[in-house]
Amino acid sequence: MNDLIQKLVEAFGPSGFEDGVRALIRPEVAPYADEVRVDALGNLIVRKKGDGSGLKVMIAAHMDEIGVMVTHITKEGFLRFTNIGGVRPHGLWGSRVQFADGRIGIIGADRQEDRSKIHGLDKHFIDVGASSAADCPVEVGAAAGFVRPFHASGKFLSAKSMDDRIGCFVAIEALKRLESTPHDVHFVFSVQEEVGVRGALTAAHAINPDVGLALDVTMTGDVPETFPMAISLGKGAAIKVKDSGMIAHTGLVKLMRQRATKASIPHQMEVLEGGSTDARSIQIANGGAAAGCISIPCRYVHSQSETVHADDVEACVALLVEILAKPMAL
């Protein structure tokens, strides 16, 4: 389990630059698929055919991660940058980033007289060891992802891109375990979620599913003085009821609760007041679909140490298999 998770979470793949992640996932899923294709935007779409008696189902887990992009090179050779997705400035100073060619840069910041304040992104820079703009080896428009090795402390798993490589892992593992299904299931490893759920939208338009499930992380309320939320690490899969972008299909929520209870799969109910997932795109594409989300509880989302619990990951895999292996009555 951890070997595959480590490969996924340490891979380079900011939004729009997911090729390397897709190349890792494709050989993992191909032996279990009836059809594998890549669409024009870069989504990896893996189809497992059912017996014809079920529904058309789309499962979405996004391959991309937050990152940065170079906007300007100073005359001294330092790189100014903008965000790719929800990058927070709080933990940037001293962080390392990696470009597609493997080059590492160090993030610094302009002088701050009042150390109780935090610079915005525009006051940070990346140092790649250049002495001038002329000898800088990185160009404007180059993307970089954060660098932080995977770490396992017992069942607590931490990495810079659990969001959403752990969702990709859940999809891969569920596909491997799904011996048969009545449904026509399309596993979509989507692109550009962090910049507007774009990949899932194009895939949903093309697939036109009856039912859609996103697999993504959600925040927790189990650390000191955090925003109150009824989600904790180690207490099971989170069944989303609502987030800021969608209200989940009530019949699908009921079905997930029933399947989890009957199979003794630990689960908890999620209401997320900020943020959304690929399920939003699936829900409103074409004529709409019954959409929901299985969430993996995660501490420190959009940091370089996003942390999940192995038992929750296993619960999410088990719940997804339970849903896909049997008929759905919504």
Q: Read off the tokens for 297.
A: 């509880």
Which phi and psi angles does 96 have, rounded to 5°? -110, 145
With left for phi above 0 and alpha for psi between -120 and 50, is residue 94 left, alpha or beta? left
8 A C-beta contact, residue 8 and residue 169: yes
Using CB atoms within 10 A of its CB, is residue 4 exposed (0-12), middle (13-18) or buried (19+)? Answer: middle
Number of residues that this document lists for the chain: 330
Picking from 98, 95, 120, the residue whose alpha carbon sits closest to that of residue 110 is 120
Instruction: Calculate the alpha carbon distances from 229 to 57, 220, 254, 320 in Å.
Output: 29, 6, 20, 23
SS (H, E, C) 188-227: EEECCCCCCCHHHHHHHHHHCCCEEEEEEEECCCCCCCCC
- 119: tokens are 């610079």
Three-point CA angle 257, 214, 255, nearest 5°: 20
β-pairing, 44-48 with 184-190? antiparallel
Is 262 exposed, middle or buried (CB count within 10 Å of its CB: 0-12, 13-18, 19+)?
exposed
The residues carrying an active-site annotation are: 193
- Rounded distance, CA 115 to CA 246, Å? 39
φ, ψ (nearest 5 deg) of residue 258: -65, -45
